Amino acid sequence: MPTPFDKRIFWIHWSGSAVGENTIEELVETVKQFSPNVAGIAIKTSDGEDWQARYDDKAAMEIKGPDDILTWTKALARRGLQTYLWHVVRGRNVQGEINVVTAACRVPGVRAMILDVEDGALYFGGQSAATARALASGIKAGAPPGFHLALNFDARGNHPANIHINEWLPNVQSLHPMVYHWHFSEGTRGPTTYIEEAMRVCKQWNLPVVPMLQAYPDPSSGTRVPEDDVLTAGIYSFQKGATGISYFRLGTAGTAEFRAVSKINPNNIPPDGLPPDTQKRVFQVVTPALNVRTEPSTEPRTLLPSEQLRMGERVEAIATSRTERVGFIWWQHRTGWSAERNLSTGEVLMADISQGLPAPAFVFQRLPLDLNTMKWFYYYGNTVFAFLYGRANNYPGYSQGLHGGLDFGHPGGAPVYAGVNGIFDYSGNERAFGPNRVDVIVGNHLIIYGHVANPIRLARGTPVTPDTIVGYIDNGAKHMHLEIRYDKSNQNLILNPLTYMTNQMFNELNTKFPPVGDYAFYRSSRWERWLTPFDQPTIVRGGPVIGPTA
């Protein structure tokens, strides 16, 4: 979702008494002169139910209410800077705090309000979930419609739980984790590990992330953040997917910090990726949706919902990262960890294509059998037919106990069309799916038209078009079996043909032949998997049984 922070850098301002400048205009000029790439300033307006003037003795810069915020907004706008607001949440006087915050949000020209919710007795720590809920919902209700609210918090350890983060999340539109690496490590460590942790934690909530980075000395050692750390923190945050960044704060940032911040160009930072010299294994996702996780684990906390991969996506994994854990084979790639296969069931989630990259994805241009001539239709995968009659047809030995294709039913005599642009490879009765079958190659995919009569006879390598008739429905078989295998050389993977059809084709098939009764997907009190047309596994030809008969 778009935010007021997209590709932007901004400073945090705490108090007039904490900066060397004497007026708003002087502070704005400092920001413009020494960090011209910065987009704005987030001004602390309030603390609990009190306006910030209670903690500021510099009259020219203090904030006693909305009129003072408007003065700031106009001064910033004159120099092309955005105005963001920043409020420290206390929860001592809920309605009083809501009144102060929402009054600030209603000032013209303000782009967003950042709610600083911190653990600990001096801040919001110890308050109840009910208090958090009342504050969050009350502030959202009192702010102008569509106004952007942001949550600023410490993402480490139990801090999110201690501030009752689930009460805040429905009411905010971006997350601003505090990444004060020099403070957290007492002046001993760089920023990258802390940024990675903050991004990992925040991504589970699927909101834009805007890290608040450190530009103040470590309180315990008194040492300043190294200039290279200030620069690295900003660049690395954008590389890891940050929407924008801020630096805390004006008044503690000196020449070195300003110089580092001024070097960051958010529009010229490539996304994080594998170094060019990294040895890779290349995979293709062969399941409708493949999860990405922060580590090789199935624990909910590791899931990155926004990074989920889709059928057909190409994944470059680190060749040395193969890991077996919790019943899966895992590989690390640019955005996290994903499972290649389930070791207990044999289900393949992404196929190794390192030795031969696939051709571009294709779709059927027409159905192999005209819809108006079809009499019945069996789906791919976990079907009732596979459960009841699969053993008699060697499904356990061939297709892991599932139905390995789509069946187009007809009494006999109807033409079967290729439906695709491809290359003729085989026709005859010497392979499975008699009385005859026809094979067509499209890129790295083999398409099988099984159980047909009068198969087409062409020289191997001859092009076929969607309208090429490859055979006819056999009077005895009374259907055509359509199967797609991935990798024409070893043909180990059987894919769901519906994923190679247009939405219109599927909708028409599904409307005329819904998966009900004998044509349904199998379910029982003991089996609740793979119950819809696209929620079906990739089949390993000859692999162990993975269906309900396992």
Q: Where are the domains of the chain?
A: 9-268, 280-352, 371-540
Q: pLDDT-based confidence at 357, cuts 50/70/90?
A: very low
Q: Is the pLDDT of residue 366 over 50?
A: yes
* Longest distance between any two alpha carbons in the chain, whole Å: 95
Region 275-296: mean pLDDT is: 79
- The closest of 519, 480, 517 to 383, measured between CA atoms, is 519
pLDDT computed for residue 120 by the predictor: 85
Query: Which stretches of 187-296 are DSSP H helices?
Result: 192-203, 227-239, 255-262
Distance in angstroms (rounded) separating the CA atoms of residues 163 and 176: 14
pLDDT computed for residue 360 by the predictor: 39
The pTM assigned to this predicted structure is 0.55
Q: Is the pLDDT of residue 270 over 60?
A: no
Is residue 257 within 8 A of residue 215, CB to CB? The reply is: yes
318 or 162, which is more confident: 162
- Which residue type does 64 have? K
pLDDT, the chain, mean: 91
Domain 280-352 = CATH 2.60.120: no
- The closest of 357, 353, 204 to 291, measured between CA atoms, is 204
Which helix (H) or strand (E) is 503 found in, with range?
Answer: helix 503-512
Phi, psi of 442 (to 5 degrees): -125, 105
Q: pLDDT-based confidence at 362, cuts 50/70/90?
A: confident
Domain with residues 9-268, CATH architecture: Alpha-Beta Barrel (3.20)
Distance in angstroms (rounded) separating the CA atoms of residues 192 and 181: 8
Q: Is the pLDDT of residue 91 over 50?
A: yes
> Exposed, middle or buried, 269 (CB in 10 Å: 0-12/13-18/19+)?
middle
9-268 and 280-352, same CATH topology = no
Q: Which tens digit of pLDDT belongs to each residue from 436-452?
A: 999 999 988 899 999 99
Q: Is the pLDDT of residue 356 over 50?
A: no
Q: Which tens digit of pLDDT belongs to each residue from 378-423?
A: 999 999 999 999 999 999 999 999 999 999 999 999 999 999 999 9
CB atoms within 10 A of CB 532: 12
Fold exhibited by the domain 371-540: Glucose Permease (Domain IIA) (2.70.70)
- The closest of 303, 372, 378 to 339, measured between CA atoms, is 303
Q: Is the dihedral of CA 394, 397, 401, 405 positive or negative?
A: negative
